[in-house]
Structure 1
């Protein structure tokens, strides 16, 4: 399966938007809570696993997807917040995806921060 940066972005934005008290740990379903139109359950599951590998979410120590397709979710980690902050704006996200494509692929944590910062600065100047 190929990694889809758009699906990663959608999942992370959905996780950030979950309404919960800071002291509550949720069980979040890959199929129910994180489903995205146009994507299969397997695709969502695969990309949630990548998010877990990047440690962008705090899972209260349970860094795997349960057999029932759920994850333990306490909140976003600082790295997760950084990622979401950098991809929230649709115009900057479009430029970031183009930059990633031109560079040969999406490399979370490697190049996206530089592209986003550059695109953000350019957008602020115009």
Structure 2
């Protein structure tokens, strides 16, 4: 794991068993960058939700989903999860009876900003967390 640079990128097969690996890798690199614990945990939670969405909604045989974390000197953390699905995520109203579907609500609440970016094949969901 190269933590000397300002970015960390990994690709994962879209299976639920990889979500803990995504979280662990993010925690390790954020700690190596000396990101404050509260900012780190917020970034990891956002990343975990976006990765879970990629696994659940963008599972395409033979394709991976990509995770990228970047930071700058002001401790701004940018989180990206890209996948090959052309289907855009939908921010749904809160339903207290639902057993899922709150991931983007968490992202909306925790990120300083977030958006969906189209790419040649699929999309990237991007979020920013400020220290």
| Same fold at TM > 0.5 | no
Counting helix residues as a fraction of each chain, which structure ranks higher? 1
Higher Cα radius of gyration? 1
TM-score, normalising length from structure 1?
A: 0.29
